[in-house]
Amino acid sequence: MRTRMLLLAALLISAVGISQKSEIRDAEKALKDGDAASAKASLEAAKGMISGADEKLQAQYYFVRGQVFTDLAKKGDDAAFDEAIEAFRKVVEVEEASGKVRYSDEANGQLTSMSADLVNAAVEDNKNENFTAGAQKLYKSFKLSPKDTMYLYYAASSAVNGRDYELALKYYNELKDLNFDGSTTEYKATNVETGEVENLGNKTQRDLMVKSGAYTNPVDEKTESKKAEVVRNIALIYTQLGKNEEALTAYKDARADNPDDVNLVLNEANLYYQMGDKDTFKTLMNEAAAMAPDNPDLHYNIGVINMEQGNLEAAREAYKKAIEINPGYVNAQLNLSTTYVNEGNSLIDEMNTLGTSRADIAKYDELKKKKDELFQEGATVLEAALKNNPDNQGILSQLKNIYGALGDNENFMRVKKLLGE
């Protein structure tokens, strides 16, 4: 009786193996005929018992499964990418354990090909503004080929475009942990015919073009590292998510690694400004201005914060510096003029508090003279600004108001005419 039971079990196992082989053959045939859906159905019928099959049959099953789901992925089933990747990896795992290699090389080749397919699909997603889907595909491609860290970088960028900031933060932090650099070498040479310097792709191609005589002056140029960009984006995302303390920590770490990056200082300064800490904002802006003394925007922003805090002389110094660097900087010119007008207006408030005594009248005349001088100084700034921007409506409107306040009817009418009123 015992012998019969063992024989029955053996017969059952054999029958199962035959059934699985049949399902796999059916799947292969359906796939060859272009019917991936039927191929999938055949494989699903064999899936439940495949773990009990011998390693050779398991490897064959997973290899066919990988091919079927690759085909489905190419036809638009995004979820099939994961199934295909898992199947091909299972092929390698099974064959490594058994020591019998038949499908592993093809499976690894398919995984490499799938990485390219994922990238192409991600490009299409981004064209269609399906940014998060594109980001996820690029990340899968990176996981398939971990050496290709640029895929992870592009995945983070795609997630930002889709405003999926939590996903972008995950990818950027992974880049940071990998000490991602992202710089490359560009192989350039000068086109003899046009005189233009061109990037010729790779060293071999560039050297051949130089040897041909069509190009000259070969030079290798390393592109800028993306490390600072990664940590800056981490801080910016924390800010976007309202996690200001995490953002400040990120800026601290970023600046420690990139002490000469003025953009990090500016972004940190802007965060302090948003948090209402205008003193730290001003300190950092001054630091940034020292790092980039020829940047007019830095001096302008220093002027703005000083103006808000009532430090008019410091504001004027900053605005003048911005105008010195960029003589056509209209906003700096308008604000510089406004510092004089605001100071003059503060004297009007004081004038209105005076009485009719001889001393008060004398004081009134003194304040009025000073007020008019300040208004005139504001007008002088704007008259100079008109030389570079003769049709600027903002300049003309503010100038008209100043002349109106001064009672200078001649200039008031002149400016009014320029305004077309």
Kindly give, in sequence order, each residue whose CB lies less than 8 Å from that of residue 139, ignoring residues fewer than 6 positions away. 151, 152, 155, 171
* 313 or 74, greater pLDDT: 313
Average pLDDT of the segment spanning 363-373: 92
Amino acid, single-letter form, for residue 251: Y
DSSP symbols for 108-123: HHHHHHHHHHHHHHHH
Q: Is the pLDDT of residue 243 over 50?
A: yes
Q: What is the CA radius of gyration of the chain?
A: 36
Alpha-carbon distance 380 to 402, whole Å?
Answer: 10
pLDDT for position 9: 43
Select, from the ranges 124-133, 267-276, 288-297, the one with the highest average predicted confidence (pLDDT): 124-133
CB atoms within 10 A of CB 53: 19
Which domains, ranges and CATH numbers included, belong to the chain?
A: 15-149 (1.25.40), 185-223 (no CATH), 322-421 (1.25.40.10)
Integer Cα distance of 274 and 280 in angstroms? 11
Q: Are 69 and 80 in contact (CB under 8 A)?
A: yes
325-344 core/surface letters (b: 16 or more CB in 10 A; e: else): bbeebbebbbbbbbbbbbbb
Is pLDDT of 158 > 70? yes
Q: Which amino acid makes up residue 370?
A: K
Average pLDDT over residues 128-151: 91
pLDDT at 5: 45
Q: How many CB atoms lie within 10 A of CB 361?
A: 12
Q: If you average pLDDT over residues 105-127, what whole number do you get? A: 86
* Residue pLDDT, tens place only, 282-318: 899 889 888 989 999 989 988 988 888 888 998 999 9
pLDDT at 177: 92
Confidence (pLDDT) at 100: 81
Three-state DSSP class for residue 213: coil
Single-letter amino acid code for the residue at 377: E
Q: Average of pLDDT values for 211-239?
A: 90
Model pLDDT, residue 92? 80
Distance between CA atoms of 410 and 407, rounded to whole angstroms?
Answer: 9
Task: Provide the phi-psi class of 81: left if phi over 0, else alpha when psi is between -120 and 50, else beta.
Answer: alpha
Question: What does the pLDDT read at residue 18?
Answer: 57
What pLDDT, on a 0 to 100 scale, did the predictor assign at position 6?
Answer: 47
User: Does 237 have pLDDT greater than 70?
Assistant: yes
Check if the beta carbon of residue 20 is closer than 8 Å to that of residue 53. yes
Tokens of 63: 């290899």
Contact 231, 253 (CB under 8 A): yes
CA-CA-CA-CA torsion for 337, 342, 344, 345, nearest 10 degrees?
140
Give mean pLDDT, residues 77-95: 81
Q: What is the mean pLDDT of the chain?
A: 86
Q: Read off the pLDDT of each residue in 260-269 and give the average, rounded to a whole number.
A: 84
Q: How confident is the model at residue 129 (pLDDT cuts 50, 70, 90)?
A: very high
Q: How confident is the model at residue 149 (pLDDT cuts 50, 70, 90)?
A: very high
Cα-to-chain-centroid distance, residue 65: 38
Average pLDDT for 187-194: 93
Q: Name the range with the highest mean pLDDT among 6-20, 90-104, 250-264, 378-392.
A: 378-392
**What SS3 state is found at 345?**
helix
Q: Quote the pLDDT of residue 360.
A: 87
Cα 62 from chain centroid (whole Å)? 39
Residue range 264-291: average pLDDT?
87
Average pLDDT over residues 104-131: 87
Could you read off the pLDDT of 5-55 as tens digits, one per residue?
444 444 444 444 456 677 778 777 877 878 878 878 877 876 767 777 788
Which tokens belong to 112? 């490499």
Question: Considering Cα of 245, then 247, then 251, then 254, what sign does the dihedral take?
Answer: positive
Q: What confidence tier does 61 reach under pLDDT thresholds 50, 70, 90?
A: confident
- Total Cβ atoms within 10 A of residue 92: 19
Sheet holding 185-191, edge to edge: 197-199, 185-191, 215-222
Whole-number Å distance between alpha carbons of 406 and 376: 8
220: three-class secondary structure by DSSP? strand
Averaged pLDDT, 329-356: 91
Confidence (pLDDT) at 19:
62
Check: pTM over 0.75? Answer yes or no.
no
Neighbours of 115 (CB within 10 A): 20
Q: What is the mean pLDDT of residues 371-398?
A: 92
Task: Give residue 105's Cα distance to chain centre.
Answer: 38
